Amino acid sequence: MAYQIPRGCQDLLPEDSYAWQSIERTLREFCYLYNYDEIRTPIFEHTKVFKRENDSSDMVNKEMYTFQPENSKTSLTIRPEGTAGVVRSFVENKMYSSPDLPVKLFYMGTMARHERPQKGRLRLFNQFGVECLGNKSPYTDVETIVLAYSILKALGLKDLKVCINTLGDEESRKNYRETLKRYFAPYLDELCADCKRRYEQNPLRILDCKVDHEHPCMQNVPKISDYLNDSSQEYFKTVLSLLDELEIPYEVDPGLVRGLDYYTHTVFEIVSLNTEMGAQSTVLAGGRYDNLIPYYGGPADMSGIGWALGMERLLIALEAEGIELEKKPDLDVFVMCLDESARSYAFQTLIELRAYGYRADMDMNGKGFKGQFKAADRAHAHYALLIGENERSQNMITVKNLHTKEQTSILRNDLIIYLDDHMESEHHHQEDSYEKNTL
Ligand code: ATP
Ligand code: MG
């Protein structure tokens, strides 16, 4: 019987792992620059952490992997997103009492949503996200957007669009909700079953419906911007003018409401405009939440903002734009054993190479001379060390540069110095020619 990976899941295969690691390095470096610290929360939480009262989003109502261990009555849910767990931890660990708010956190990890798998839409996928918790300032909103935008630019993406909108504060949202209810009431019969539920729970969600988005009534939906109170308008105006000053290109999208119920004020998405992205073109999305920290038991009126980047969608966007991704690096040294009597001498050399920071390997299966050369070739090794009985008995090593094919014999004790000198000078040589090429 053949075993297969569950639908909507992906293995990260070894050949692709270098691309992921290099992207993760960039993400970490940016967080380091912006003074964000890493947080790791459990991959499952008590179900109620995600299933908030009155939450109308599909993610919470239809897509969660909820389970009960066989010997337990506790309902647990594999995280469908990062924010809930991070805010739960922020409150539980009383991080809100820090004298230096906001607390700036980043996370990366696997999320689970039971959705219909498509390109860019998986059931298990990975997010990198940030949460900035404990203050409310347009500067913080803009800082998180700039962080997101700078990361995607640094990774090489060009076809990007920042879409932004505001949902206003609680009062504005309430105004708007009532307006939407009045507006949609005559069409309610024609909308999908989900929208009927949304109408009661959170009519804003109707604007995000993937079934009804072409219904004629969607043409003239009242805009949130007409229902914002003064302070919400002022807040959003400041956010936009800060983005202008920093020359971050954006587009105000009055229909942008985002898929989760908890957002207030600024919401945003970064979309890849590349045609290969298909329907799943949003690589990153986030917004401010005024009510989440109090919901989890933190101080009333304490706000936060965050975003999450879909790693798999990011990779699709990078590939679509033809951006070269990091591949498995070449080996520095391949150690070749030419006589069985020299094997342990060769093996000791291998271990020493690594102790000095050289990426090195050797065949452990007794391959012949030719087979070992082929293996060195496949590993794109820079140097081969030829070690046979002659070398062993004289404490020598034959070093072969596999690029130039030059070969020389040196004292075993001089090996590291030899490699340090030669790898260094060749490295400089390569850098020189790289500079020439780019001039
Ligand atoms: P969508 O409208 O595409 O369903 P969403 O509003 O559910 O997205 P968020 O919950 O805001 O998305 O998640 C942030 C990011 O995580 C998305 O922009 C996307 O890049 C990624 N993402 C979300 N769901 C999936 C999924 N099922 N598979 C792969 N990536 C996903
Ligand atoms: Mg979704």
> H-helix or E-strand containing 252?
strand 251-252
* pLDDT at residue 96 is higher than 80: yes
Range 96-105 average pLDDT: 98
Task: State the closest ligand 1 atom to the C-alpha of 127, by its place in the atom list counted from 1.
Answer: 16
Say yes or no: 100 and 233 in one domain: yes
* Confidence band, pLDDT 50/70/90 cuts, at residue 383: very high
Cα(81) to ligand 1 centroid in Å equals 9
* Confidence band, pLDDT 50/70/90 cuts, at residue 432: low
For ligand 1, say whether the CB of 346 is within 6 Å of any of its atoms: no
pLDDT at 289: 96
Can you give the CATH number for the domain in which 359 is found? 3.40.50.800
In a domain, 116, yes or no: yes
pLDDT at 156: 97
**pTM (two decimals):** 0.92
* pLDDT at residue 390 is higher than 50: yes
Say yes or no: 102 and 247 in one domain: yes
For ligand 1, say whether the CB of 57 is within 6 Å of any of its atoms: no
Query: Which residue's CA is the nearest one to ligand 1's atom 24?
Result: 121
In a domain, 205, yes or no: no
pLDDT at 426: 73
Cα(70) to ligand 2 centroid in Å equals 29
For ligand 1, say whether the CB of 155 is within 6 Å of any of its atoms: no
Question: Is 166 buried (19+), middle (13-18) or exposed (0-12) by CB count in 10 A?
Answer: buried
Range 117-123 average pLDDT: 96
- How far apart CA 86 and CA 103 sit, in angstroms, is 11
pLDDT at 228: 95
Cα(124) to ligand 1 centroid in Å equals 11
For ligand 1, say whether the CB of 127 is within 6 Å of any of its atoms: yes
- What are the distances in angstroms from CA 261 to CA 59, 239, 265, 288, 420? 10, 21, 12, 11, 58
Say yes or no: 157 and 256 in one domain: yes
Say yes or no: 280 and 138 in one domain: yes
pLDDT at 191: 92
Say yes or no: 54 and 164 in one domain: yes
pLDDT at 438: 43
Owning domain of residue 390: 333-433
Cα(59) to ligand 2 centroid in Å equals 6
Say yes or no: 66 and 29 in one domain: yes
pLDDT at 431: 55
For ligand 1, say whether the CB of 257 is within 6 Å of any of its atoms: no
Asked which of 191-200, 310-319, 374-383 is least confident by mean pLDDT, the reply is 191-200
Say yes or no: 276 and 395 in one domain: no
* pLDDT at residue 44 is higher than 90: yes
In a domain, 62, yes or no: yes
In a domain, 209, yes or no: no
Cα(194) to ligand 2 centroid in Å equals 14
Range 118-138 average pLDDT: 97
In a domain, 51, yes or no: yes
pLDDT at 372: 98
Can you give the CATH number for the domain in which 158 is found? 3.30.930.10
Query: Which residue's CA is the nearest one to ligand 1's atom 4?
Result: 259
What are 195's two structure tokens? 């929208």
Q: What is the pLDDT of residues 70-93, one digit of tens each?
A: 999 999 999 999 999 999 999 999
Say yes or no: 304 and 358 in one domain: no
Among residues 262, 286, 320, the one where a domain terminates is: 320
User: 254 near 224, Cβ under 8 Å?
Assistant: yes
* Confidence band, pLDDT 50/70/90 cuts, at residue 430: low
Say yes or no: 144 and 255 in one domain: yes
Cα(316) to ligand 2 centroid in Å equals 17
* pLDDT at residue 253 is higher than 70: yes
Q: At a CB cut-off of 8 Å and minimum separation 6, what does 222 contact?
A: 176, 179, 180, 183
pLDDT at 48: 97
Among residues 320, 355, 371, the one where a domain terminates is: 320
pLDDT at 397: 98
Average pLDDT of every residue of the chain: 94
* Confidence band, pLDDT 50/70/90 cuts, at residue 429: low
Domains of the chain: total? 2
In a domain, 204, yes or no: no
Say yes or no: 304 and 362 in one domain: no
For ligand 1, say whether the CB of 342 is within 6 Å of any of its atoms: no
Q: What is the pLDDT of residues 14-36, one digit of tens each?
A: 999 999 999 999 999 999 999 99
* Confidence band, pLDDT 50/70/90 cuts, at residue 281: very high
Say yes or no: 263 and 356 in one domain: no
* pLDDT at residue 366 is higher than 70: yes
Q: What is the pLDDT of residues 166-183, one digit of tens each?
A: 999 989 988 998 999 999
In a domain, 71, yes or no: yes
In a domain, 216, yes or no: no
Among residues 270, 294, 320, the one where a domain terminates is: 320
pLDDT at 336: 98
pLDDT at 255: 85
What are 255's two structure tokens? 């229909």
Say yes or no: 89 and 19 in one domain: yes
* pLDDT at residue 209 is higher than 90: no
